[in-house]
């Protein structure tokens, strides 16, 4: 089979190559998936340089989220049949076939394409844990979403609207904001390159945002604490800016706000019952057609570098997908 293999950990993806490797066989409890779509995420890019906390031993095949069809069942696997459309995550999506434990699979919602399904779980699980579990966002509250054009940001925009919140989408691109405003019916948009503190206060009638969803960090966090409402909640999702912000706790004391760190996967590991509930909740949203995951572009396996660059250069609105079947 053909696969994108990380043979060495080097800058500029220099250790990555598309090559023929043996098609794997499923072991007991495993399933072989014919991959129809795999989402590109920042951890995939980081792993090619050895910069992510999870460091697979080289050589390895990346691709943490995928959707496809059951191709072969390992010994003892029940509940699935060859040809079933499924979604999973964990490893190996950037290849024509992937081996995964049957326990990680779930049926693909009919409403979602393979591309939409591949890019769905991580982004929407993060949005759900952040907005529902950590912030307990309420209908009518103002939610400011930074990095709104990215995968996790756009999922937060989408889910916050489902929750009945009033949403301010924030991005550094007017073009991206226009797309979000058109497709997701947000209540307001702000371009952060022009500053957003005063604009957010103006939009919210002077009080500030009740909930701020921040996957960016750095200067964005610094300005966010200046436009958070009293008693508000800042959700720290990540640091795509590259700078870890520092919180002056006197400001938190004066304004009475809290900061919640969000790691959706770890939340599920720490609280398994709640983790199972979270997963059921997000997939029900998809099955009921209440959310609108967005695929920005799809690329064949040979187009992997361009696909990676759309994410690295922040050109994407939603998700970039690699299609090994093209």
Q: Are residues 129 and 42 in the same domain?
A: no
Strand partners, 6: 16, 60
3 state SS of 113: coil
Q: Residue 84 falls within a domain, yes or no?
A: yes
Q: Residue 30 falls within a domain, yes or no?
A: yes
Q: What is the DSSP letter of 187?
A: S
Q: Are residues 165 and 242 in the same domain?
A: yes
Q: How far apart are CA 265 and CA 238, in angstroms?
A: 14
Q: Residue 79 falls within a domain, yes or no?
A: yes
Q: Are residues 155 and 255 in the same domain?
A: yes
Residue 35 has pLDDT above 90, yes or no: yes
Domain CATH for 247:
3.40.50.720
Q: Are residues 128 and 94 in the same domain?
A: no
Global pTM value: 0.93
The string of pLDDT tens digits covering residues 139-164 is 999 999 999 999 999 999 999 999 99
Q: Residue 282 falls within a domain, yes or no?
A: no
Instruction: Specify burial of residue 254 (Cβ count, 10 A radius: 0-12, 13-18, 19+).
Output: exposed
Q: Residue 283 falls within a domain, yes or no?
A: no
Q: Residue 143 falls within a domain, yes or no?
A: yes
Q: Are residues 146 and 259 in the same domain?
A: yes
pLDDT computed for residue 27 by the predictor: 97
Q: Are residues 158 and 232 in the same domain?
A: yes
Q: Residue 49 falls within a domain, yes or no?
A: yes
How high does pLDDT run on average in the chain? 96
Q: Are residues 256 and 137 in the same domain?
A: yes
Give the domain-ending residue among 248, 266, 284. 266
Q: Are residues 179 and 305 in the same domain?
A: no
Domain that holds residue 140: 124-266
Q: Are residues 195 and 300 in the same domain?
A: no
Q: Are residues 195 and 85 in the same domain?
A: no
Average pLDDT of the residues in 181-209: 96
- Cα-to-chain-centroid distance, residue 248: 29
Contact 102, 29 (CB under 8 A): yes
Q: Residue 271 falls within a domain, yes or no?
A: no
Q: Are residues 134 and 257 in the same domain?
A: yes
Q: What is the DSSP letter of 292?
A: -
Instruction: Specify burial of residue 198 (Cβ count, 10 A radius: 0-12, 13-18, 19+).
Output: exposed
Residues 6+ apart with CB under 8 A from 210: 137, 138, 141, 142, 143, 229, 231, 232, 233
Domain CATH for 302:
3.90.180.10
Domain tally, the chain: 2
pLDDT computed for residue 196 by the predictor: 97
Q: Are residues 209 and 131 in the same domain?
A: yes
Residue 277 has pLDDT above 90, yes or no: yes
The string of pLDDT tens digits covering residues 39-65 is 999 889 999 999 887 889 999 999 999
pLDDT computed for residue 55 by the predictor: 87
Give the domain-ending residue among 229, 248, 266. 266
H-type alpha helices, the chain: 42-47, 114-118, 121-128, 151-162, 174-184, 197-203, 218-224, 249-255, 264-270, 272-287, 304-312
């Amino acid at each position: 089979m053909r696969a994108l293999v990380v043979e060495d950990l080097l800058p500029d993806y220099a250790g990555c190559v598309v090559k023929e490797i043996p098609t794997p066989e499923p072991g007991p409890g495993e399933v072989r998936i014919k991959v129809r779509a795999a989402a590109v995420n920042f951890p995939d890019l980081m792993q090619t340089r050895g910069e992510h906390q999870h460091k697979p031993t080289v050589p390895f095949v990346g691709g943490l989220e995928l959707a496809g069809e059951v191709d072969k069942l390992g010994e003892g696997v029940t509940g699935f049949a060859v040809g079933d459309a499924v979604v999973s995550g964990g490893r190996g999506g950037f290849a024509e076939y992937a081996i995964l434990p049957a326990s990680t699979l779930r049926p693909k919602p009919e409403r979602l394409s393979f591309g939409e399904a591949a890019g769905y779980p991580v982004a929407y699980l993060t949005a759900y844990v952040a907005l529902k579990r950590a912030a307990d966002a309420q209908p009518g509250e103002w939610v400011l979403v930074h990095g709104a054009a990215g995968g996790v940001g756009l999922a937060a925009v989408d889910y916050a609207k489902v929750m009945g919140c009033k949403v301010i989408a924030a991005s550094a691109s007017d073009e991206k904001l226009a797309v979000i405003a058109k497709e997701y019916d947000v209540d307001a948009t702000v371009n952060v390159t022009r500053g957003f503190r005063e604009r957010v206060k103006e939009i919210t009638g002077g009080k500030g945002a009740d909930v701020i969803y921040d996957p960016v960090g750095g200067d964005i966090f610094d300005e966010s604490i200046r436009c958070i409402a009293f008693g508000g909640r800042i959700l720290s999702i990540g640091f795509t800016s590259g700078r870890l912000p520092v919180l002056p706790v006197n400001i938190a004391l004066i304004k009475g706000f809290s900061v919640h760190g969000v790691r959706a996967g770890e939340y599920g590991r720490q609280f398994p019952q709640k983790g199972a509930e979270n997963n059921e909740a997000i997939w029900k949203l998809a099955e009921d057609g209440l959310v609108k995951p967005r695929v920005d572009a799809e690329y064949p396996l040979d187009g992997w570098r361009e696909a990676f660059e759309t994410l690295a250069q922040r050109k994407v609105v939603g998700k970039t997908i690699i299609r090994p079947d093209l």
